[in-house]
Amino acid sequence: MLAIATHGERILGLTAQPVQLFDEPLAALAEKMLETMKLAQGVGIAAPQVGQGIRLFIMASHPNDRYPDAPLMAPQVVINPQILKRSGKMLAGEEGCLSLPGERVQILRHESIEVRYQDLSGEWQQEWLQGFIARIFQHEYDHLEGLTLRERLEIQNQGAGS
């Protein structure tokens, strides 16, 4: 299991760098991240959370103690992600974060998003995500931009005040 960085650690506030090499060490990192995420009962984990400043995250929604109503999906490795389009409709939902143990906050996220990313072989994928899966993608994408739930909540609250 990899150590999970907690809020306040420098790596969580940095913008992650694009992945250039699609090789065995990258696949091994993704496998260790998946194992770490499962042991921590998460539904997603980003490379910065395990001390790696690269644009890589894993989504693996499944019902668990933290998210009992989560839909079941096969683990998905997402590399160099882009959000191409966002729905106008925003939905509030409770989120937690492996880097903020025990914290749960209401976060507004786009209900659906069109995304583009590379898989472990470097091939580009493009799809529309909705609901909880779109929420996971946006949460993990925030990590690659140096944002945790605390920063997202601050941005959200500033927007509400304007």
Given pLDDT bands bounded at 50, 70 and 90, which one contains residue 112? very high
The 3-state secondary structure of 86-120 reads ECCCEEEEEEEECCEEEEEEEEEEECEEEEEEECC
In a domain, 154, yes or no: yes
Q: What is the tally of structural domains in the chain?
A: 1
pLDDT of 10-62, one tens digit each? 999 999 999 999 999 999 999 999 999 999 989 999 999 999 999 999 999 98
Beta bridge partners of 85: 114
Distances in Å between the alpha carbon of 1 and those of 8, 35, 54, 118, 150? 21, 7, 19, 25, 25
Given pLDDT bands bounded at 50, 70 and 90, which one contains residue 153? confident
In a domain, 145, yes or no: yes
In a domain, 66, yes or no: yes
Full domain range(s) for residue 152: 10-161
In a domain, 61, yes or no: yes
In a domain, 138, yes or no: yes
Q: DSSP readout, 3-42?
A: PPP-TT-GGGGSPPBPP---SHHHHHHHHHHHHHHHHTT-
In a domain, 148, yes or no: yes
Q: Which residue in 9, 140, 151, 154 is the catalytic one?
A: 140
Catalytic site residue 123? no
Predicted pLDDT at 158: 85
In this structure, are residues 40 and 134 in contact, taking their beta carbons and an 8 Å threshold?
Answer: no
Mean pLDDT of 56-77: 90
* CATH number of the domain enclosing 18: 3.90.45.10
Side-chain half-sphere CA neighbours of 112 within 13 A: 6
d(CA 85, CA 35) in angstroms, rounded, equals 31
In a domain, 82, yes or no: yes
What is the average pLDDT score of the chain?
94
d(CA 99, CA 47) in angstroms, rounded, equals 12
In a domain, 5, yes or no: no
Mean pLDDT of 137-146: 98
d(CA 75, CA 62) in angstroms, rounded, equals 9
Q: Could you tell me the pTM of the whole model? A: 0.94
